[in-house]
Amino acid sequence: MLIVGELINGMYANIGKAIAGRDKKAIQDCALSQVKSGADALDVNCGPASRDPVADIQWLIESIQEVTDKTICVDSSKPKVIESGLKTVKGRAILNSTTADLDKMDILVPLAKQYKAKLIGLTISAKGIPQNKDQRLELAAQIVSYCAEKEFPIEDLYLDPIAMPVNVAQSQQKEILEAIHEFKIISDPSPKTILGLSNVSQGSSQRSLINRTFLTMALGFGLDAAILDPLDSLLMDAAITSDLILNKNIYCDKFLEAYRKK
């Protein structure tokens, strides 16, 4: 699976402070610790408190790129902030994200094409968050057909059914898991799937247990990628072991160690 580290997000107090105070070392340390723990890519989000997200996202990405060449996942709900981030990324970025709304896709799909970025499509719309699997599938199909029409490669599209907190949306979890499976059969070639995993445990105790159980199940339903906390080593162990069980890695008695040496 593709592991996207979630920790460079202004929503975290330490990162919010580092952005406001231009503390480059704090950002670089956070990037390197996630990479060392196994992150393949790094999500970068200025957070809700940023006063100048167009400038902040550039500073964040420049700081990170000084210490690692891992893929940058440019995370914002504002197209101007996303464009500013994509301009700064050196390699191929992940654009996080568009919704299924036409006004968003009309701007963001051409941007993803222009910068040869991969694209995350959230199965939400201005009408709100879908309440069952079929509503998620309807929005997913709208995103896939829009991308196909504009000749955006479907293999580079990651559909996100949006993980919701289990303590307030318990009946949604099975709908989300089944949506992950069915997104894969919308088209051939299949779109990929991704989740912002930590959403599922927001407001709950036992967060780590809920996160790793949900991740393991989602991988069983065909999940390709997750935005998660790579410093949670039990979570990473569960991810690595799931890939083994799903025959994505060769078995050996020391598979955790072998994977981490990759």
Q: Catalog residues that contact ligand THG under the rule CB under 6 A.
A: 6, 9, 11-13, 43, 45, 75, 96-97, 120, 160, 162-163, 196, 198-199, 202, 227
- Smallest distance, Å, CB 221 to ligand THG? 16
Smallest distance from the beta carbon of 14 to ligand THG, in angstroms? 8
DSSP secondary structure letters along 96-145: EEE-S-HHHHHHHHHHHHHTT-EEEEES-BTTB--SSHHHHHHHHHHHHH
CB of 253 to ligand THG, least distance (A): 34
Distance CA 160, CA 34 (A): 22
Q: Which residue's C-beta sits nearest to ligand THG?
A: 196
Nearer to ligand THG, 43 or 175 (CB): 43
Q: Which run of H or of E encompasses 220?
A: helix 207-220
Minimum CB distance to ligand THG, residue 76 (Å):
9
Rounded CA-CA distance 232/116 in Å is 31
User: Is 196 strand, coil or helix?
Assistant: strand
**Beta-bridge mates of residue 44:** 8, 74
Question: What span, in angstroms and rounded, lies between the C-alpha atoms of 113 and 92?
Answer: 11
Nearer to ligand THG, 97 or 242 (CB): 97
Pick between residue 41 and residue 240 the one whose CB is nearest to ligand THG.
41
Cis before 153? omega within 30: no
Minimum CB separation of residue 207 from ligand THG in Å reads: 8
Nearest approach, Cβ of residue 195 and ligand THG (Å): 6
For ligand THG, the closer CB: 35 or 162: 162
Least Å distance between CB 151 and ligand THG?
23
Rounded to whole angstroms, the Cα distance separating 202 from 198 reads 7
213 φ/ψ angles, rounded to the nearest 5 degrees: -70, -45
d(CA 172, CA 164): 7
The rounded distance, in Å, linking the Cα atoms of 101 and 125 is 5
Q: Of 49 and 246, which has the nearer Cβ to ligand THG? A: 49
**CA nearest neighbour of 236 among 43, 1, 30, 32:** 1
- Identity of the residue, 58 or 199, whose beta carbon is nearer to ligand THG in the bound complex: 199
Comparing CB distances to ligand THG, the nearer of 45 and 71 is: 45
